[in-house]
């Protein structure tokens, strides 16, 4: 009996390595105790929401007895939230924006799905640098699209502009970047992005269906050591910025994100009408009203970046002592490190599991031979894993 569709069955058989390792961690914790397992698999921010969120919740609690306080709204979001977002994003993206150029979405993931539903036709291609966030392939596939990963330059994971250009075909519809990047932590330079935009401008000349330059940036706020995250909207008339407040305000479960469209985009009104329609017909209807009110109240605030920076430095110290190679993350909260010895990434993650450490094999992000660690947990957990990393790395080198 076939109770689910063939495509979903295929996806289940190749389920996300992130979730697979997370579930393995549940078993380890049950067997050995949660306090003994160092779980670096899931990017679930552990910091409490910013204080503005708590204060706003207190104010909102006194309004829920009013008619329609939690009722439907325009599919694009509350008018006041869109206006505040437009003002905030105009400063961040360094372009003039109006509320009509912003759509509030159910997280950045919802924003990407809304965009892909709006612009993709079966067989269209979405190019992205590799390694990449694994869900991108599923999001494109939801609407008949195909993800086309393009290897980044090693060892620092910078954009390979020539390879990205060579990957463009007549079916290319989106070039998708993620900066600061999950899983590598790289922040793309201004000159890289300008060069990419120039190549897309040449590719778009004479095309009936333009290639969109899309930036997925839920980690935009989380950059270290004075590194600047360049805005995407000034670079191309066909650019779209997508983000969320899951990490910056620690509101991951509230599912609030946005789409912002370049003010210089030709036929922007038509695209925005399509985005708003798809926000409804995909079943989102509108983003959660409480989340929108919380974001509206807390815009401009962020959790303490210094805490994440301290955790990054602790993880870097531990990996260096274990003899594991990595580029130091410039942003986000992930390390994408090279597997030591001659074992593969799955084998090394198994060695780590034997030391009660959970990591995700790099092949889950399109690049075997590496492994991903998240550091959005207490620094004590990171430091507790030091001996286990050394032992696993030594065993991997011995096997090689």
Stretch 357-370: mean pLDDT: 95
Q: Let me know how many helices (H) and strands (E) the chain has, helices first.
A: 14, 12
129-181 tens-digit pLDDT: 999 999 999 999 999 999 999 999 999 999 999 999 999 999 999 999 999 99
Q: Which fold has domain 52-298?
A: 3.40.640
- Residue ranges per domain, the chain? 6-49+304-399, 52-298
Closest CA to 264 of 232, 238, 230: 238
* Residue 219 pLDDT level (bands cut at 50, 70, 90): very high
CA gap 145, 45 in Å, rounded: 30
306-331 tens-digit pLDDT: 999 999 999 999 999 999 999 999 99
Helix (H, G, I), strand (E, B) or coil at 48: coil
* Residue 26 pLDDT level (bands cut at 50, 70, 90): confident
Asked if domains 6-49+304-399 and 52-298 share a fold, the reply is no
Query: pTM of the entire structure?
Result: 0.94
Spell out the alpha helix ranges (H) of the chain. 6-13, 17-32, 51-61, 79-93, 107-119, 135-141, 161-166, 190-204, 268-281, 289-298, 305-321, 345-354, 379-384, 386-399
368-394 tens-digit pLDDT: 999 999 999 999 999 999 999 999 999
Q: Which of the listed CATH numbers 3.90.1150.10, 3.30.300.30, 1.20.120.140, 3.90.45.10 matches domain 6-49+304-399?
A: 3.90.1150.10
């Amino acid at each position: 009996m076939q109770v689910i569709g063939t495509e979903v069955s295929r996806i289940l058989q190749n389920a996300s390595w992130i979730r697979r390792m997370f579930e393995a961690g549940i078993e380890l914790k049950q067997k050995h105790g949660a306090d003994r397992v160092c779980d670096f698999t899931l990017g679930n921010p552990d910091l409490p929401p910013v204080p503005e969120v708590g204060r706003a919740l207190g104010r909102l609690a006194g309004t829920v007895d009013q008619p329609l306080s939690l009722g439907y709204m325009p599919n694009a979001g509350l008018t006041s939230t869109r206006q505040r977002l437009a003002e905030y994003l105009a400063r961040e993206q360094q372009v003039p924006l109006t509320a009509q150029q912003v759509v509030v979405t159910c997280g950045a993931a919802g924003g990407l799905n809304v965009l892909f539903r709006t612009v993709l036709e079966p067989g269209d291609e979405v190019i992205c640098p590799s390694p990449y966030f694994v869900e991108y392939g599923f999001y494109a596939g939801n609407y008949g699209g195909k993800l086309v990963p393009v290897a980044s330059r090693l060892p620092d994971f910078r954009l390979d502009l020539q390879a990205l250009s060579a990957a463009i075909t007549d079916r290319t519809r989106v070039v998708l970047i993620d900066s600061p990047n999950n899983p590598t932590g790289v922040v793309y330079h201004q000159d890289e992005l300008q060069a990419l935009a120039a190549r897309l401008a040449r590719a778009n000349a004479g095309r009936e269906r333009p290639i969109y330059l899309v930036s997925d940036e839920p980690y935009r706020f989380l950059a270290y050591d004075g590194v600047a995250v360049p805005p995407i909207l000034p670079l191309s008339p066909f650019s779209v910025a997508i983000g969320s407040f899951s990490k910056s305000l620690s509101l991951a479960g509230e599912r609030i994100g946005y789409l912002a469209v370049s003010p210089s985009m030709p036929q922007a009104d038509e695209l925005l009408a399509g985005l708003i329609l798809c926000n409804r017909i995909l079943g989102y209807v509108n983003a959660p009203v409480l989340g929108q009110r919380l974001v509206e109240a807390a815009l401009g605030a962020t959790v303490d970046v210094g805490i994440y920076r301290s955790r990054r430095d602790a993880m870097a110290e531990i990996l260096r002592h274990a003899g594991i190679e990595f580029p130091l993350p410039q942003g986000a909260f992930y390390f994408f490190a090279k597997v030591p010895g001659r074992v593969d990434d799955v084998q090394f993650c198994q060695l780590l599991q034997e030391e009660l450490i959970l990591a995700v094999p790099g092949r889950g992000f399109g690049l075997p031979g590496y492994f991903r660690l998240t550091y959005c947990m207490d620094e004590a957990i990171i430091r507790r894993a030091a001996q286990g990393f050394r032992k696993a790395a030594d065993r991997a080198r011995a096997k090689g």
